[in-house]
Amino acid sequence: MPGKLKVKIVAGRHLPVMDRASDLTDAFVEVKFGNTTFKTDVYPKSLNPQWNSEWFKFEVDDEELQDEPLQITVLDHDTYSANDAIGKVYIDIDPLLYSEAATVISGWFPIYDTIHGIRGEINVVVKVDLFNDLNRFRQSSCGVKFFCTTSIPKCYRAVVIHGFVEELVVNEDPEYQWIDRIRTPRASNEARQRLISLMSGELQRKIGLKVLEMRGNAVVGYLQCFDLEGESGLVVRAIGTACTLDKLSNTSAFLPACNSPSKEMKEIPFNEDPNPNTYSSGPSTPLKNQTYSFSPSKSYSRQSSSSDTDLSLTPKTAPSPQGPRIFLFPSSPTLSCDSPHVKKSCLLLSGSSVKPLHCSHVSPVVLRKSVSFTEELLLAASGMGSGSAGKEGGPFKTLLRQQTQSALEQREFPFFTLTTFPPGFLLHVGGVVSARSVKLLDRIHNPAFVGIMGNTRSYKLLDWNSFNSDEPETRDAWWAEIRQEIKSHAKALGCHAVVGYSESTSICEEVCILSASGTAAVLNPRFLQDGTMEGCLEQRLSWQPGFFSIGSEKGEVDFFPQSQDSSSLLGIEEASPPGCGFCHIPYDELNMPFPAHLTYCYNCRKQKVPDVLFTTIDLPVEAIVVGKGCLIQARLCRLKKKAQAEANATSISNLLPFMEYEVHTQLMNKLKLRGMNALFGLRIQITVGENMLMGLASATGVYLAALPTPGGIQIAGKTPNDGTYEQHISHMQKKINDTIAKNKELYEINPPELPEEIIGSPIPEPRQRSRLLRSQSESSDEVTELDLSHGKKDAFVLEIDDTDAMEDVHSLLTDVPPPSGFYSCNTEIMPGINNWTPEIQMFTAVRVSRLSNINPTNQTLNKNFNDLCENLLKSLYFKLRSMVPCCLCHVNFTVALPEDELVQIAVTAVAITYDKNQALQANKAPTEKSQQRASTDNEEQLQFPLELSSDPLSSQPFSPAKEALEGASSHTGIPAAQRATSLEKASPLAEGYLRHRSVPSGTNSTVSVVKMTPLSFLPGAKITKYLGIINMFFIRETTSLREEGGVSGFLHAFIAEVFAMVRAHVAALGGNAVVSYIMKQCVFMENPNKNQAQCLINVSGDAVIFVRESELEALPVPAPTAQPAGSAGDVTT
């Protein structure tokens, strides 16, 4: 599919003065793509040149289109000497290659120079004409969409979630090539920027190919990283989750929801108008219920059937009467089409459940298979036109797939980089699994190299000193090893999949720590296979969260699925309280992979749950949470002897388990200190430096209603007879108890007292304490402790002497809660807050501190590190004080150890304001029984898809109103009222933006506002279009550090420039926001003696167009606006 790339250079403005004599510039522009270069005329003597060039046309093949960036260089013409470069603009044209993303890139781009920063702006227009070419051996993957967002993007529908895709590309780092000694820093930086741009393009193309092979059309949760391995090279690697997505058109969004598209239809990517003839394509649907019954059986099968029978004999307690409330749709006009829909989905469910099909293949094995890709399969399905993975479909292919799948089972990784899932997707969560390995870097010899060589075009770019394609596929093998380990950990937890999966590295000199972590989980197979998931997805559209998780519980599955008619099935599913299914243990109680303390679920009383749950995913929307969440961090330093090569690697590997253990203990203690029982979004980062290791774990603690109340923290003295010691201990104990009480109040943790008589099932003994600091033994802590370790083989013994213990207790108490009006979390949404207002502020803060101790000990280092993080947080709270009440969401800390005594911490997060009044109202709400609340939730959630009918599949950005929803059932016409209130509540800032935008670009508004957020959504707004992925890499260097305001001035300017360039690219694509923004790398190096500094930043995100809800509803629906603002739903609009 070759294409024609057309570029027009319109004008420049604010160029720097290049000719001192005239104070002017004679600028012209070079436009380069691949090996072709065009030039504009020289526009003499102007700082605001108007080139208005012709269309420069590049005829290239699509492979090149995907790999190459468009390179625009602005130069100053000089008659007598060489032309001076003013700066460059790299434009990734990938977004133009999707069938329905951006059609043109047009706008002002900052002209960037790696030495001088931004120097003026240039106005460019870029277009691409693609020609269809059905070459079955093509190397390109145009049309595959990429999303950084780790959930199914809003305004899309997941037809199939195929599974894990990964790829890596290796090259030499230009910075370390011999030529670097003779070229200028600028040339070196540019070579590096260009190379990385090229490599990411190539990587993306290759991943795209894999996706096409899997017959998907998109990658969600795409995470691309660079490993700057120094001498040994440069690795660009990426992971993601392949999906088949369906675009939901705004108008028909609800209707298609009623129809399950036929199998063939869904293979057409971004199909806007799904075929209405639906579940007639039977053979594809039936698997789901079978798999249900089998997936739990996996663990049972290994042993006595006792647990199995136990489960199945568990009496079905009376369904809670609130279930049916789901049917009470608010009588708003938008809901008129409900009832037929309800019927349809019922039918659908029953229809599929009675058909026992493909039994022989249904087993956990199949499940795992289905989520991975296979290359062979792709051969069969390859050769499709752009964006389409093939339309032939049919039984032949199904058969083929099954064969190939079983053949390839060993190679598959059932991993998902998603952190938020369509409701019903996640059945059970086992716990965090992680694996690390320490490797010594050597010169890179990688198979990817061969790939590049075969690709004649890029060959010239890559300046190889030496290569040896016989070398083993080192990096690939390393990662494969780690993934294998993760997979086996998950298996040990009785899980067949890993969700919230991510990989990272930390490199110091020649040592590299590779880490991978995720959450072991049992998934609903219906989402993983073609054709099996429509029913379920359809339903989701109407039912929303909570519904399917219920249905997926093992006990019920054993009893009901095949035989019940639709209504009873529905009834049963309603009966079980929603929002706790994922907490239920996936492993077998009698054969637990580790000692854990289990109790019956506090919500449904039917299934066993652990007493603490750690996960790397976001809080599922259906989860029932008590109170609010909070950011919990564990911080740790460990000294390490300086060593070389293997000795170094060995000492690091020896330290790692202890660090993991300590980090985990800290997390557990801090969690208990806050009276909470679950962690979400857990991310443990271990950073290696010359003489120390640092561990930083961040997570969001919450109180899950389904899990038992956490016990307090008990301090036991070692020498009971010592009076003063005893006193001291009791004093500490009191302090800790006070803190717990205070935190419970702060986070509004008032778990409902379950009247135990009413619930007949065995009441678990409330665990009163978790032993801390002294011993462990039976403690449930180990559920996750073990998960965190390298499998079962490492058994940790907790031995802490008294001073250490004291230190630990002290450090526990030094964590200061955020000032009033602030909450923080590292997940997408803050549990317990749901009334967001549209004002957001994304920021990046970077700190580098010198650990100046002469003889550092672990304790002093720990304290320093702790202080550093705490101060940074404090400083953020202070900076953002004008936004109170607000919540810092997606707080992402990255630690680096650039030099001996330097610690660098970078934080990116977004502050979102919320409406305090509503929060207050929520406070006032008396605690009600969780069951009731849950059902109210359901009801509330129901409004969601109806109201936002255009993106019913999106995961809900806001946790549904819980406490705030007193009496919500009586509310009618909520949506209208909500719109009205949200309109009123638009913050002054937002109004400013609105005004700003509405003003025709006159003298005072030429720059369009682009919002940036690390979240996948914008509060109070609806994303209407995804324009493509933004993935940018910049280098900035200076040789006049002092003159630029020192290191802070230098980095401040650079980060601002990076933001500016991201915004400019988004605006040029026609977007007004970046979601899922992430700064993946910020490598800062300085040499104050030479007055030099260098910094590399890599950022990515999804460019989108959003529309404010208030704008969406140009005219407020004439509805009772007397609706009290208390309906928390308005956040959701």
Partner 1 sequence: MSSDLDVFVGNTTLIDEEVYRLWLDGHSVAEAVARRLRGGVLEREGTSVAVLQSDTRDHYRTFQMLERLLHAPPRLLQQLLFQIPPERQALLVQRYYAFDEALARELLGKKLSKGTKKELDEVSARTGVGIRSCRRQFDNFKRVFKAVEELRGPLAENIQQLFLLPPALARDYAAIVFSGIWGLWERFWGFLGCPDPPFSSRDYAAIVFFANSRFETGKRRLQFLSFGDFAACAQSMMAHWSQGALAPEAADPDGDLPKSFLQDLKELKVLVSDKDLLDQHKSLVCSALRGKISVYNELEANFKALSRALVNVGGKLTHARDVRDFFVDLVEKVIEPCRSDKWSPGDLRLFLTHYTAAPRNLPGFRHQALWERYMAAISACLLRMYHD
Residues that bind partner 1 (CB under 8 A): 13-14, 108, 110, 118, 121, 819, 841-852, 864, 867-868, 871, 874-879, 881, 902, 904, 989, 992-993, 995-996, 1003-1007, 1009-1012, 1045, 1047-1049, 1051-1053, 1055-1057, 1059-1060, 1063-1064, 1084
How far is 642 from 640, CA to CA, in rounded Å? Answer: 6
CB of 732 to partner 1, least distance (A): 25
According to DSSP, residue 273 is labeled: S
Token readout for 690 is: 């010359």
CB-wise, 226 or 1054, nearer to partner 1? 1054
Give CA–CA dist 844/1062, Å, rounded: 14
Kindly state the DSSP code that residue 819 receives in the 8-state scheme.
Answer: P
Q: How far apart are CA 986 and CA 994, in angstroms?
A: 10
Sequence-distant (6+) residues with CB within 8 A of 125 are: 7, 8, 10, 104, 105, 106
Closer to partner 1 by CB, 148 or 537: give it.
Answer: 148
Peptide bond before residue 1120 is cis, with ω within 30 degrees of 0: no
CB of 1100 to partner 1, least distance (A): 15
- Give me the least distance between CB of 1055 and partner 1, in Å please: 4
Comparison of 752 and 1046: residue with beta carbon closer to partner 1: 1046
Q: Are 74 and 15 in contact (CB under 8 A)?
A: yes
Q: Is the Cβ–Cβ distance between 816 and 892 less than 8 Å?
A: no
Copy the structure tokens of residue 570: 């529905």
For the bound state, the minimum distance from the C-beta of residue 941 to partner 1, rounded and expressed in Å, comes to 31
Structure tokens at 784: 């996750």
The residue type of 846 is V
Question: How far, in Å, CA of 888 to CA of 821, rounded?
Answer: 11
Least distance (Å) between residue 225 CB and partner 1: 22
CB nearer to partner 1: pick between 487 and 638: 638
CB of 1095 to partner 1, least distance (A): 10
Residue with tokens 């110091």: 508
Q: For 820, which DSSP code?
A: T
Q: How far is the CB of 1024 from partner 1 (least distance, A)?
A: 21
CB of 188 to partner 1, least distance (A): 23
For partner 1, the closer CB: 200 or 904: 904
CA distances from 1019 to 213, 961, 1012 (A): 36, 14, 12
312: tokens are 């199945």
DSSP helix/strand/coil, 218: strand
Q: What number of CA atoms fall less than 13 Å from residue 20's CA on the CB side?
A: 0
Q: Are 518 and 432 in contact (CB under 8 A)?
A: yes
Query: Which tokens is 832 given?
Result: 């317990």
Smallest distance from partner 1 to CB 116, Å: 13
- Residue 964's alpha-carbon distances to 72, 746, 890, in angstroms, are 54, 17, 23
CA dihedral 848, 849, 854, 856 (to 10 degrees): -90
Q: How far is the CB of 904 from partner 1 (least distance, A)?
A: 8
Q: Which is nearer to partner 1, 439 or 1063 (CB)?
A: 1063
Q: For the CB of residue 277, give the shortest distance to partner 1 in the complex, in Å.
A: 47
Indicate the residue among 48 and 1039 with the shorter CB distance to partner 1. Answer: 48
Considering only CA atoms, which of 1088, 1099, 991, 992 is closest in space to residue 1047? Answer: 1088
Q: What is the largest CA-CA distance in the chain?
A: 95
How far apart CA 356 and CA 283 sit, in angstroms, is 10
SS3 1037: strand
Q: 3-state SS string over 110-158?
A: EEEECCCEEEEEEEEEEEEEECCCCCCCCCCCCCCEECCCCCCCCCEEE
Minimum CB separation from partner 1 for residue 642, in Å? 21
Cβ closest to partner 1, residue 769 vs residue 879 = 879
Nearer to partner 1, 789 or 894 (CB): 894
Report the candidate in 729, 695, 698, 724 with the shortest Cα–Cα distance to residue 714: 729
CB 1021, min distance to partner 1, A: 15
Nearer to partner 1, 97 or 1047 (CB): 1047
User: Is the CB of 301 or the CB of 1087 nearer to partner 1?
Assistant: 1087
Shortest reach from residue 749's CB to partner 1, in Å: 23
Nearer to partner 1, 769 or 881 (CB): 881
Rounded alpha-carbon distances, angstroms, from residue 935 to 326, 425, 938: 7, 20, 5
Residues 161, 152: Cα–Cα separation, whole Å: 9
CA distances from residue 1126 to 151, 417, 466, 921 in whole angstroms, order as listed: 29, 36, 68, 7
Please identify, using beta-carbon distances, which residue of 656 and 1055 lies nearer to partner 1. 1055
CB of 1025 to partner 1, least distance (A): 20
- Is 1010 in contact with 1106 (CB distance < 8 Å)? no
| Distance of closest approach, residue 859 Cβ to partner 1, in angstroms | 14
Taking the C-alpha atoms of residue 951 and residue 938, their distance in angstroms, rounded to an integer, is 17
- Other C-beta atoms lying within 10 Å of the C-beta of residue 72: 22
| Residue with Cβ nearer partner 1 (533 or 637) | 637
Distance of CA 999 to the CA centre of its chain: 36
* Token pair belonging to 232: 């040994």
Q: Which is nearer to partner 1, 734 or 850 (CB)?
A: 850
Q: Is the CB of 188 or the CB of 864 nearer to partner 1? A: 864
The residue written with tokens 């001996």 in the block is 900
Structure tokens at 105: 């890139």
- Report the nearest approach of partner 1 to the CB of residue 1047 (Å): 4
Nearer to partner 1, 583 or 846 (CB): 846
Nearer to partner 1, 508 or 1093 (CB): 1093
Q: How far is the CB of 15 from partner 1 (least distance, A)?
A: 12
Q: Strand pairing partners for 432?
A: 519
